[in-house]
Structure 1
């Protein structure tokens, strides 16, 4: 297969994930559930079911992603390269608020629509700016690790952007499926920066009980 291949993993669960609070750039640690998910992922990555020789590991520098990488990929013996460019979208003044309150705000007068690509976010990023950052980060990695296999640990919003790039879907379109904690998403980027989906949303390594909370 031509190009650089990526296995992009969402971090394990945090208490704020479970309580539906907006994290963004706030550095929220893994919960006990998130640690267990990362351990389950490690078991899978060490099993015969994952028969891939990984060349490099990159991660968001936020602890929920970096700690997931440390737990899940420590057996590979590779340095985890932390990057601010792989962070979740910055939601500025809205970080820390619960989604119910944000939904009410969006429906009211003067509300903010986070799915509008050009919507300005005070002290944060528009969806368009976030998309440009994430696209650039992965295309830079594709050049740095040309033709190699890269394991990346990041965030739900980052995976959403990668999903749109690999499917050619606009930023404003609805996404039909959730992005689950520690799900694995496999795609490639070739030398012309063409993105191609290979396999998406793999969650077979998670225990059934962990899925019951989100499905």
Structure 2
């Protein structure tokens, strides 16, 4: 059976990540911390600790993911394919808002419950629609690159959906662990569209100082 392997990487940190602002489709660049994280990722990919023969590189077309890919994987000499299908969830009118303010508003009975799969988001995506987009995007890649190994750069929300699909966990269930910037997450999809988790949340390539910034 043809099985496609994915090494899915979250982009490096942005100033908005550090300030807990909702980014969504807004094209926020990497911060100096995020650039350094991408450089550490490049060192790891060039070390004996990462001995995977990568066949293709695909990235979200948003700058923070694409630049992470360019910095960390440029040495592989492979074309960098940009895909809007791998973008973060679109949060519509809420993009740019402060997470703490949104959490407080929801706690007081107002605002939007972004974890409700069917919750409509004005000018954005419901969690259900976002999950469907991401699932279809990865399954299309698995068909296009059957039996290959792909390095994919994307976003925290995208990795959350991949984690749920690979573990068979519902959209409204709590996730116990955070998704850190430039974490590496390994899963596979076979030709029958079965997802399997292999390794998750690898961050050993980050220096202690960089971890202090994101934990």
TM-score if structure 1 supplies the norm length? Answer: 0.98
Structure 1 unmatched ranges of 5 or more = none
CA contact (8 A) 2:57 2:150 kept: yes
1:196 aligns with 196
1:109-139 deviations in Å (ceiling 9; x for gaps): 3421000000000000000000000000000
Say which SS state the counterpart of residue 213 (structure 1) adopts: helix
2:157 aligns with 157
The reply to whether residue 124 of structure 1 matches residue 124 of structure 2 is yes
The reply to whether residue 17 of structure 1 matches residue 9 of structure 2 is no
Structure 2 unmatched ranges of 5 or more = none
- Compute the displacement of 1:105 (Å): 1.8
- Compute the displacement of 1:212 (Å): 1.4
TM-score if structure 2 supplies the norm length? Answer: 0.98
- Compute the displacement of 1:2 (Å): 4.5
The reply to whether residue 134 of structure 1 matches residue 134 of structure 2 is yes
Aligned equivalents of 2:68 and 2:75: distance in 1? 13
Aligned equivalents of 1:176 and 1:188: distance in 2? 22
1:70 aligns with 70
In the TM superposition, 1:1-215 aligns within 5 A as: 2-215=2-215
CA contact (8 A) 2:181 2:214 kept: no
Q: Which runs of 4+ in 1 moved over 6 A?
A: none
Say which SS state the counterpart of residue 100 (structure 2) adopts: helix
RMSD: 0.9
Aligned equivalents of 1:81 and 1:214: distance in 2? 28
Say which SS state the counterpart of residue 105 (structure 1) adopts: helix
- Compute the displacement of 1:108 (Å): 2.6
Aligned equivalents of 2:123 and 2:54: distance in 1? 37
Say which SS state the counterpart of residue 111 (structure 1) adopts: coil
1:26-51 deviations in Å (ceiling 9; x for gaps): 00000000000000000000000000
Say which SS state the counterpart of residue 117 (structure 2) adopts: coil
Aligned equivalents of 1:97 and 1:139: distance in 2? 32
Aligned equivalents of 2:37 and 2:214: distance in 1? 13
Aligned equivalents of 1:206 and 1:110: distance in 2? 38
